[in-house]
Chain A
Amino acid sequence: GENVEQHPSTLSVQEGDSAVIKCTYSDSASNYFPWYKQELGKRPQLIIDIRSNVGEKKDQRIAVTLNKTAKHFSLHITETQPEDSAVYFCAANAGGTSYGKLTFGQGTILTVHP
């Protein structure tokens, strides 16, 4: 089955700095890669996703890049703010299925210091 590895497990930055979280996946048939943000005590929520037919997607301060050849994708947050502090999860779908099953990474605890 699919295996998703996420790094780093913790990331500490100063407000205004950029943050990058990286994930690798194992199933070359995977074609959907979402990122979820989970604030303390809250449910995970989708912040951005990318499909395999594009290499990059941007939404204001958040961007995701995908390298299908290397089987890795990354989340980039620019001009970080304290409210970006949360746990971030990457995920990849199970290739070849239309059921939408996702395999999640282990999570990255991002702390933005004012």
Chain B
Amino acid sequence: DVKVTQSSRYLVKRTGEKVFLECVQDMDHENMFWYRQDPGLGLRLIYFSYDVKMKEKGDIPEGYSVSREKKERFSLILESASTNQTSMYLCASSLLSGFGGHEQFFGPGTRLTVL
């Protein structure tokens, strides 16, 4: 059974704190993604990775960084959390496709509140 897990379902942090969100997949997928989900804005891509130690900026990378030291694990880092980063964060993984796209499998999400 396909599984993507995230380290926390709910997280509350203070402005200026460094925040780590962890994602683990057990499907041996090459691709991993981090999205944030806000009402009316859909899913917006923050960063993605297609291989260990490889990363690419998505559409809204400002204020975030990522780390992928192992194939199964992809971390999202908020260097200095701000209130406008309060959101639902979703991790996903997929196979590396030679035909443009493959199903993305999502984690359960982390609802982050920055006070």
Contact = CB atoms under 8 A, between A and B. Distances in A.
Interface in A62-114: 89, 91, 93, 95, 97-107
A4 to B, nearest CB: 8
B101 A106 contact: no
Interface residues of A, number: 29
Nearest to A49: B103
Given A31-B101, A46-B103, A104 B56 contact: no
Given A89-B42, A99-B50, A107-B40, A43 B97 contact: no
Contacts of A32: 97, 99-102
Residue of A34, A46, A102 with most chain B CB atoms under a 10 A cut-off: A102
Residue of B42, B90, B104, B106 with most chain A CB atoms under a 10 A cut-off: B42
B100 A93 contact: yes
Interface majority SS (helix, strand, loop, mixed), chain B: loop
B100 A34 contact: no
A45 interface: yes
A9 interface: yes
Contact of A34 (B31, B90, B101): B101
A106 B45 contact: no
A99 B95 CA distance: 9
A95 B106 contact: no
B48 A99 contact: yes
A101 B104 CA distance: 9
Nearest to B93: A100
A42 B43 CA distance: 14
26 contacts: A31-B99, A32-B97, A32-B102, A34-B101, A34-B103, A43-B106, A43-B107, A43-B108, A43-B109, A44-B90, A49-B101, A49-B103, A51-B99, A51-B101, A89-B42, A98-B97, A99-B31, A99-B48, A99-B50, A100-B94, A100-B100, A100-B101, A103-B45, A104-B43, A104-B44, A106-B41
